Structure 1
Amino acid sequence: MTVADLLAGQHARVLAVQANPALEAKLREIGFCEGDGVQLIARGPLGGQPLAVRLNRRIIAMRDDEAAALVVEAIHG
């Protein structure tokens, strides 16, 4: 599952960043890395983009291709 697959409000933990080297570097510079907790806050009104994702205490706007590069496991409870 990836961040792009999460439902609004759902929490998850990043397992891996799987993308081409340029996109992987961009996501890591933003702050995404293995073990981080993320939450999908909302999807945009136009085709569901951009996605609003909470990473630690920040809210980040992401496109679907960026969100699909973040492999996660859902956190229940």
Structure 2
Amino acid sequence: MHPGGVDAAGLNLSGHFAEGRLFQASRRLAERGGNGRTVADIALEVGFSDTSCFNRCFQRRFSAWPGDLRAVFATSRSQA
């Protein structure tokens, strides 16, 4: 960590935790389109208590909304 608690990627400790939770969520959304779970269910599972905040953070990180990503994976799995 650099002075001020920010690393070379520009993330502080809480940013690293959020990043990890977002990647967990993306993997869960990719599992057969979320395995029948809602985006809100997955957000709660990975530690987000506010679905709106989760959606915004996810979109900012991956340039896609969680529901869109889930739909892509659900469609690609059903065509395989």
TM-score of the superposed pair, with normalisation by structure 1? 0.32
* Structure holding more strand per residue: 1
Larger Rg: 2
Higher relative contact order (CA 8 A, sep 6+): 1
